């Protein structure tokens, strides 16, 4: 095992309009992760993140709280192939 992990995180609750994407970008980059984050039309936020396994695990736990103003009701995590590409976390258009 290389110690590298790539996941898709879907966060549901009051997570749009509270700065969740910008918060995710900042916290994930501070942990050395790369990937993307976007709002989804169903009201959830989707983050696809990759990096050191321990940093990804810590980010998943952080997503359970989110930024001030968020009310996280559910966090679903799925392992996925790493397609993060460039370093850093990109905020993508709503999908």
- Tell me the CATH number at 69: 3.30.70.100
Residue 52 lies in a domain: yes
Q: Is residue 7 helix, strand or coil?
A: strand
Report d(CA 23, CA 41) in Å as an integer: 19
- What integer best gives the mean pLDDT of the chain? 94
- Could you give the residue numbers annotated as active site? 21, 39
Q: What is the pLDDT of residue 81?
A: 87
**Average pLDDT score over residue span 22-45:** 97
Structure-block tokens of residue 85: 């590409």
Number of domains in the chain: 1
Q: Name the residue with tokens 């790539």.
A: 6
Domain of residue 9: give its range.
Answer: 4-82
Is residue 66 situated within a structural domain? yes
In a domain, 23, yes or no: yes
Interval 28-48 mean pLDDT: 97
Alpha-carbon distance of 52 to 30, in angstroms, equals: 12
What is the tens place of the pLDDT at every residue in 39-49?
999 999 999 99
Q: Is residue 51 part of a domain?
A: yes
Q: Is residue 91 part of a domain?
A: no
> What confidence tier does 61 reach under pLDDT thresholds 50, 70, 90?
very high
Q: Is 64 inside a domain boundary? A: yes
pTM, full prediction: 0.93
């Amino acid at each position: 095992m290389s110690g590298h992990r790539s996941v898709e995180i879907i966060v549901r609750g009051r997570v749009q309009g509270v700065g969740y994407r910008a918060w995710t970008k900042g916290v994930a980059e501070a942990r050395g992760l790369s990937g993307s984050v976007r709002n989804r039309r169903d009201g959830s936020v989707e983050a696809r993140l990759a990096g050191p396994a321990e940093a990804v695990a810590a980010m998943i736990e952080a997503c359970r709280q989110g930024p001030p103003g968020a009310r996280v009701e559910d966090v679903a995590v799925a392992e996925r192939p790493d397609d993060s590409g460039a370093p850093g976390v990109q905020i993508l258009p709503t999908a």
